[in-house]
Every structure is written in structure tokens, then in C-alpha cells.
Structure 1
Amino acid sequence: MVANYLIGLREGLEAALVVSILVAYLVKSDRRDQLPALWTGVGVAILVALGFGALLTFGPQGLSFEAQEAIGGTLSILAVGLITWMIFWMAKTARYMKAGLHHKLDDAIGGGQKAVFVVALLAVGREGLETALFLWAGAQATSGTAPGTTGNAAPLVGAALGLATAVVLGWLVYRGALKLNLRTFFAWTGLFLIVVAAGVLAYGVHDLQEAGILPGVNNLAFDVSSTVPPSSWYGSLLKGVFNFSPATTWLQAFVWIAYLVPTLTIFIRTTWGHAPSRPAAPAPAVTASAA
């Protein structure tokens, strides 16, 4: 639940900040007549994301167990690829997000309300689809259920609470009541999400093993189920936060290490590894209400 809360918070905050920045810019530039088109684009993007999430959840129903595991494993690996790209992209461009959105919106306003609708749809829709896919993959990994089945609701509750928190934070940023250093926020949450993504990747590999696509489903690297029972509070905590599996195959362990070690190393070097030669002013806190 904790991992999914943070996923929902981070991913939802990206979308909330995009919306707040776009709305604030139209208000500050006295272009309120474009707001209906913008909100329509946001609404359509949310509906598309919800529809995509429903498709992921209920689409595989009626398929064989092997087919469900194959779909779940493939989508989990795809989600890890997307979230990894997003983590590095946001770590580099967070401080320039507002200027980039302003530039896109300026170009769109000249094309009328349809262009503003498209900008809002694409900006929010991309975040929504990424969020739906990774939340779905994270929920499947932490609940341990096959796609399309009913499992523990805690991951979904955590994700919903994270999204709700993100909406509140986005509103506070828009009102100017809260200032966020986006570079710092996305750097630290990115560090945590890389660990979560490693667990999702290992879970996806296990799904493909159970589907018979990858070998070694019974070749365990370790089995600490007697020491860390999955039903215990600490077993549930490790599963919910780090996607830890007490019974892990050799291929899962190899993939987890092969992803986590180089990805964390590159991310840390990219984000914190280049110390300035002289003291620099801290990154400006971003607020949507600024022009």
C-alpha cells in the first residue's frame, strides 16, 4: 500500500502540476475564454486513462491462466521501461517544465480552442496512461493476483489516496499556498521508484515463467517463506513496499540485480554526481501561480 501510495502521489502530482500550470498561465495572461477547451481536454484525458485501467484490469478475464500470466508479465516489463524513462526525464527537466508548457500553450492559442484542447489532452493523457499502467503493474505485483482477478484492495486504496493527495497538492501550488522544489521532489521519489520498479520487473519475469515463456519457474535462488511468511505483517510490509517475494527464482534475482544496480548508479550520478565548482543558488521552488 505504501509503494502504491507513493506511485499515485508522484504520478498524480505530475498531472496535477501540468493542469495547474496550464490553468494559471491562461488566467494570468487574461485568456480565460480558453479554459473550457483546456478542461475538456483534461476531462477526456482522465476518461481515457480510466478506460485504459479498466481494460488492463478486466480485459484478460476469461483467458487461460497461462495467457493471463503472459499478458501480465509483458505489461509489467513495459511499465518498468516507461517508468524508468519517465524518472530520468523528470529528473533532468523538472525545473523547465513550466516554461515548456507555456511555450506549447502559446503556440496552441493561435490555433484556437481545438488546439488548446489537444495540448491539454496530450499533456495530461500521457501522464494518465503512464500512471494507469504502472499503478496496475504495481498493484498486481504487491497483491500477487493474476490480471483480471479480484485480490487485496490495499494497493488500489493506496494508489487512490496518493492520487487524492496529489490533487490537493496541485491545488495548493495553484493557489500559491505551497511551493515545491520539483527537482528535489522528483529526484528523491525517483530513487524510491527505481527500487519499486525492480520489484515489478522481477514480478513480471515470474509471470512469464509461470506462463511457460521463460524457464526456471521451479529453480529457486532462495525460499525464506518460513522466516518471512507472506501473511505476516512484516512479510506484507516488504511485499507492499519493495515487492519482495520470499520465494524467488534465480532468474528473478538476476533480473532484479541487473536492473537495480546499474539504474540506481546512473540515476545517482546523473542527479547528484556533478557537483558545481562553486556554490550555486538553490533550484527555484516552482509555483503554478507564477507567470
Structure 2
Amino acid sequence: MNFSAALPTFVITLREGVEAALVVGIVLALLKKAKQSKLNSWVYAGVGVGIAASALVGLLFSAIIQAVGSINPEYTPVVEPLMEGVFSVIAIAMLSWMLIWMTRQARFLKAEVEGTVTAALKQNNGAGWGVFSLIFIAVLREGFETVLFIAANFQQGFFPAIGAIGGLVSAIAIGFLLFKWGVKINIRLFFQIMGVLLLLIVAGLVVSALAHFDTAIATLAKLNRQSESLCFYYERFTRNPSCILGPRVWNTSKILPDEQFPGVILKALFGYRDDLFLVQAISYVAFLVTVGGIYFRSLGMGVSKPKSESATTHQSISSGSKET
């Protein structure tokens, strides 16, 4: 049983879940301060419906994959890796964008949530729906990213889903530590560490996506002679098992296989592959240089005022713990 498949989704769900937990905690603290605790039920409803909606999106993706695969059973070996590759590309785009966007917006999170809640409370009849919408969108946004990642790895069975559940439970526990029991945690450091791990996981997803496309095209070339030209590299270098990925960079399957410990951990968290090809290696490095560079520059945007931001973070945490 490959429990390592649960590690990436655990990290992703933990990070995204803590972001949602911060929003929930801040909202509950603000409602308590405004003596509007009667609206807490709308907060919990938003969390529940957001999680349920994320699960439904996951089921929808699974249904789409099965429906497409059943159109022509002969081409199922082509459709499955192709769909994995497509979902991988979508997940890469979404996770990368959210990583950078949330890093840039983190310093304004508390102010934005306060403004939204204050505006909702001014609407006597629609205050509950305003709070519900804020929480629902926050939870659904984070859940959608996890669902995309799971969909991109659907052949790994239920283990990615187990990792997502573990990450969700851990995120809820951290939320209680922060806002219920007043435990001080360096949120900035937590998100920086999780951000780097997420960056490496998504870089590994780039390698996997290319492998899925290579498998799909190679299988199609075998099934349909008219598609043989798509597998251009294999036709020129028949000794190399790559179809579109170029020459092999290394094959360390006998030294450090990626299906056994510790290679399986390196594969899950850092994108290691025991059989790597040139296009994969270039794409991996290019992703880290471009997206990683943007991410680390985003971290540097708040370096000039670390004390004030740290004080704001601790103030929101302490206010949440005292008022609850």
C-alpha cells in the first residue's frame, strides 16, 4: 500500500485548510466582539457547505473521467493518462496562482475579512447570508485546489483522499489552537515552510503531467498507426523509451527506486523520479526558477515591516482567543 500518495494532499490540504481556518477564526472573533454570536451558525454552515461542495466537485470530476473513458473502451489506456495530464496542468496553474496570490494578500487578510463582515452586519436582513458567503467562498476556494490535485492523481486510489482528510483535521486542530486556546504560532514561518513544500510538490506535478502525456501519446501511437508520427522521439531513437520527452537524463531505479522508501517520500514531496527525461528535467527547473522566483519575491514584499505584520498577526490571534 502506497501511503506516500497521501503526503502531497496532506501538505496541500493542511496549508489551504489553515488559510480557511484563519478566515473562520477571525470572523468568529469579530462576531463575538460585535455581540453577534447568534450568527455563528451561519459560519459553521458556510464551512459545512463549502466542504460538501468541494466533495461534489471531486465526484463530478470522477464522473467526467469515467464517462470519457467509457466512450470507447479501446482507448481507455489513452484517455486515463491524458485526463490525468489535463487535470495536472489545471492543478499546476491553480495551485501556483493561489500560492503567489495568497502570499501577496496575506498581510491584508485580516483587514479584508473585517471589512466584509462589517459590511454584512450593516445589512440587518442579509447579515447571515453575507457571513455565510464569505466563509463558503473561502472554504470552497481552498477545497477546490485540493480536489484538482486529487483528480490529477486519481489512479493512486483513495490514498490522496486520506491525505486530504488528515490535512483537514490538522488544519481544524491548528485553528482551535490559535483561536480557542490562544496558543501562539508563528503563522508567517508556517506559511513560508508550507509554501516551499507546495512549490516542490507542484514542480513534481509538472514532471508527472509530462509523463502522463508521454504515456497517452505512446499508447495512442501503438493503437493507431495514423498517430505514430506524434511519437516523434521514439521513432528516431528506438532504444530510448521516451515518446516525446527526449533523451533519458538518469535511471536510478536500481539505486534509489521511487516506489520504495526513501525514494517514495522524495517522489511525493520533492518530485524525484528514478527515470527522468530531458524535457521533464528542463520543465522542473524552469518551473522552480519562474514560479519559485515570483513566490520568493512575493515573500520579500513584506520584509520592510516585519514587526508591524507580526504584531497584527499576534493581535488577531490573541483577540480571537480572548473573545472566544
1:70 to 73, 79, 82: 82
Select the residue among 113, 136, 139 that pairs with 2:128: 113
SS in 1 for 2:250: strand
Contact between 1:3 and 1:242, CA under 8 Å: does it hold in 2?
no
Q: Letter of the aligned partner of 1:165 in structure 2?
A: S
2:320 paired with 1:289: yes
Shift of the alpha carbon at 1:35?
A: 2.2
Residues 1:274 and 1:183: Cα distance change in structure 2 (over 3 Å): closer
Deviates more, 1:185-194 or 1:281-290: 281-290
SS at match of 2:65: coil
- Partners of 1:12 and 1:280 in 2: CA distance: 25
Which residues in structure 2 correspond to 1:162-201 (within 5 Å)?
A: 162-201=167-206
The one-letter amino acid paired with 2:209 is G
Q: Work out the number of aligned pairs and report it.
A: 280
1:240 pairs with 2:268: yes
Give the alignment of 1:104-253 within 5 angstroms.
Answer: 104-109=116-121, 110=123, 111-137=126-152, 140=153, 147=154, 149=155, 151=156, 153-212=158-217, 216=233, 217-218=242-243, 219=246, 220-253=248-281
Rounded to whole Å, the distance in 2 between the matches of 1:124 and 1:279 is: 28
Q: Which is helix-richer, 1 or 2?
A: 2
Q: Is the 8 A contact 2:9 2:146 kept in 1?
A: no
* Other structure's SS at 2:276 match: strand
Cα deviation, residue 274, structure 1: 7.5
Q: 1 CA distance for matches of 2:302 and 2:31?
A: 36
8 Å Cα contact 1:9-1:165 kept in structure 2: yes
Aligned alpha-carbon RMSD (Å): 2.7
Q: Does residue 87 of the first structure (1) align with residue 99 of the second (2)?
A: yes
Quote the residue 1:256 is aligned against.
284
- Partners of 1:41 and 1:160 lie apart in 2 by 18
Listed as ranges, the gaps of 5+ residues in structure 1 are: 141-146
- 2:26 corresponds to: 21
Structure-2 residue corresponding to 1:144: none
Which moved further from structure 2: 74-83 or 260-269? 260-269
User: Which segments of 5 or more consecutive residues in structure 2 lack a partner in the other structure?
Assistant: 70-75, 221-229, 234-241
> What whole-Å deviation, never above 9, does each CA across 1:73-120 have from its counterpart, x for those lacking one?
111111111111111122222232122111112222313323332222
Q: Which letter does structure 1 place at the counterpart of 2:170?
A: T
Identity fraction in percent: 29
How far is the alpha carbon of 1:152 from its aligned partner? 5.8
Provide, for residues 199-252 of structure 1, a one-character-per-residue CA deviation record: whole Å limited to 9, x for no partner. Answer: 011111221222229855434332221222233212212222223221122221
Distance 1:279 1:23, change over 3 A: closer
Q: Are the equivalent residues in 1 in contact too, given 2:54–2:147 (CA < 8 A)?
A: yes
